Structure 1
Amino acid sequence: MRSALLNVMVQAALAAGKSLVRDFGEVEHLQVSRKGPADFVSNADRRAEQVVFDALRKARPTYAFLMEEGGEVAGTDGQHRWIVDPLDGTTNFLHGIPMFAVAIALERGDEIVASVIYNPVMDELYTAEKGGGAWLNDRRRLRVAGRRHLADAVVCTGIKVTGTENDTLTLRQLGQIAPAVAGIRRTGSASTDLAWLASGRFDGFWEARLAPWDVAPGLLMVREAGGKVTDYAGSTGAIWNGQVVAGNEQIQGQLLKLVQGVR
């Protein structure tokens, strides 16, 4: 059974997903126009965020917000904050690729206690609550995959090469990690990566320069599915410094060692 808070989050994600699917149909038509769909997509992003904001604010008017588009909105509660990415996978959305998600997390004090990741095109609803496990569409309890060796593992990351120091570091990491694993994937949506890791589709994940709204929903999902998430130093600060290495205990440890070995 979902808690009342998680149910509020699910309803907000479903409503935002409906808005995005409607706009996604238009994006596919805009692909062939000379102007392109970029402005339309940024508006779709803001519309979805407004849907989430309105639903969550109505249900819990004293809670604060941290949102990708809208930034920080203060609350009077002092203990609770919603962390929201209304469209994780904007570039995919922009190109008509159906790999994107609405991602919402609830922070209580200094920990994430509930999260929702919803891919409206695939109609996959991932939910998690602290101590209550992680679930797909309320039917299947999620467990991270049981593979124990990197050589058998499919891992995922974000690859964006724009010439920055971080991007060249990522390329060096790829050079070390690719020969050690069965395969590397890149979906373009960090919350989807972590949800798929929690469900056993992926075995490991690493990436840096992520925002809190990229990390927070999936972090709880992976931990509630029996996985381990740390930053590059091996500590639990991944939400705020944007570095994530995740997997089951064995794969995470092996992957972390490779990531730490690249400078």
Structure 2
Amino acid sequence: MARSAILNVMVSAAIKAGKSLTKDFNEVENLQVSRKGPADFVSKADLRAEQIIFGELQKARPTYAFLMEEGGEVAGTDGQHRWIIDPLDGTTNFLHSIPLFGVAIALERANEIVASVIYNPIMDELYTAEKGGGTWLNDRKRLRVAGRRSLSDAVVCTGIKTQGTANDALQLRQLGHINPAVAGIRRSGSIAMDMAWLAAGRYDALWEAGLAPWDVAPGMLMVKEAGGFVSDYAGTTGSVWNGQIVAGNEILQPLLLKELKPIQ
């Protein structure tokens, strides 16, 4: 795979942030951690990784805007381009020494995601995608979503915090309804990695709600470029802004959506 100049910039930033996270991951018991909300922690590791990414991307493209999980919005002068960044997707996994998390970066151009990177530094898996260029793993393997055609054969994933919010209660009802219809359900703790693994054919489909733009943007492009389909719960084309996602191949995505629609 030949990377574009912009994707090289993104990969370089993700790998540098990944090195910082790996160092902190090996010393996770010593991290100073503050509680940001139910089951949602922020640590110095997040902040260090985000600062690395911000510095690398701003140096390479000083006019682009930013939308970051920890740092919020930073205006740019370009008017067409914005970086969307989650420096550590899967923070709770990270803080429990579970090596399933990722650095996630997307580039938005004129309100469309055109390039993305998801990097798991512990597994050394680098997922990249560009509009029209496909989705790739470690620059060597072009990815395609799995080809299974029946929900009964499918392993699907979701995210359930079970913290008592209305959205969590809805997902538990969905879980109870969908569980008998599929081969298995997984909950990994990182939506970025979930979407990368869906693009790689490891999962067959996924659904989740209550998501932020930085949760969705990198993986959404990867799924689409790997031949997958994405919508919200209403069945309209997936957007990084509506907080909902139902994804899979051309057969399983509409089947999963059909199962979800009656559950309110």
Aligned partner of 2:233 in structure 1 is: 232
**Does structure 1 residue 164 correspond to structure 2 residue 144?**
no
**Does structure 1 residue 38 correspond to structure 2 residue 52?**
no
- 1:18 and 1:120 in contact (8 A); partners too: yes
Aligned partner of 1:72 in structure 2 is: 73
Q: CA RMSD in A?
A: 1.2
> 2:162 and 2:65 mapped to 1: Cα distance?
35
**SS of structure 2 residue aligned to 1:102:** strand
Aligned partner of 2:177 in structure 1 is: 176
> 1:80 and 1:41 mapped to 2: Cα distance?
27
Instruction: Detail structure 1 runs of 4+ shifted over 6 Å in the superposition.
Output: none
Percent of paired sites with the same residue: 74
- 2:230 and 2:238 in contact (8 A); partners too: no
Alignment of 1:56-71 (within 5 A): 56-71=57-72
Aligned partner of 1:108 in structure 2 is: 109
> 1:246 and 1:238 mapped to 2: Cα distance?
12
Aligned partner of 1:255 in structure 2 is: 256
Amino acid at match of 1:71: G
**Does structure 1 residue 147 correspond to structure 2 residue 148?**
yes
**SS of structure 1 residue aligned to 2:251:** helix
**Does structure 1 residue 6 correspond to structure 2 residue 1?**
no
> 1:77 and 1:114 mapped to 2: Cα distance?
17
Figure out how many residues of one structure are paired with residues of the other and give that number: 257
Structure 1: tracts of 5 or more residues without a match: 31-35
- 2:155 and 2:184 in contact (8 A); partners too: yes
Structure 1 or 2: more helix by fraction: 1
> 1:37 and 1:175 mapped to 2: Cα distance?
37
What's the CA shift for 1:162? 1.1
What's the CA shift for 1:249? 0.9
- 1:16 and 1:86 in contact (8 A); partners too: yes
> 1:112 and 1:228 mapped to 2: Cα distance?
15
What's the CA shift for 1:107? 0.2
- 1:116 and 1:126 in contact (8 A); partners too: yes
> 2:231 and 2:32 mapped to 1: Cα distance?
37
Deviations 1:25-50 (A, max 9, x none): 000x44xxxxx852496111000000
> 2:155 and 2:10 mapped to 1: Cα distance?
30
**TM-score, scaled relative to structure 2:** 0.95
CA 1:26 to 1:132, structure 2 compared with 1: closer, same or farther past 3 Å? same
What's the CA shift for 1:236? 1.7
- Which range is displaced more, 171-180 or 231-240? 231-240
Amino acid at match of 2:134: G
CA 1:58 to 1:218, structure 2 compared with 1: closer, same or farther past 3 Å? same
Deviations 1:166-187 (A, max 9, x none): 1111010001100000000011
Structure 2: tracts of 5 or more residues without a match: 35-40
- 1:41 and 1:94 in contact (8 A); partners too: no
Alignment of 1:173-212 (within 5 A): 173-212=174-213
Deviations 1:66-89 (A, max 9, x none): 000000000000000000000000
Aligned partner of 1:51 in structure 2 is: 52
- 2:205 and 2:247 in contact (8 A); partners too: yes
Aligned partner of 1:136 in structure 2 is: 137
Amino acid at match of 1:188: G
- Which range is displaced more, 92-101 or 236-245? 236-245
What's the CA shift for 1:238? 3.0
What's the CA shift for 1:237? 4.0
Aligned partner of 1:242 in structure 2 is: 243
Amino acid at match of 2:49: A
Deviations 1:113-170 (A, max 9, x none): 0000000000000000000000000000000000000000000000111111111110
**TM-score, scaled relative to structure 1:** 0.96
- 2:32 and 2:44 in contact (8 A); partners too: no
> 2:57 and 2:169 mapped to 1: Cα distance?
39
> 1:41 and 1:20 mapped to 2: Cα distance?
13
**SS of structure 2 residue aligned to 1:92:** helix
Aligned partner of 2:37 in structure 1 is: none
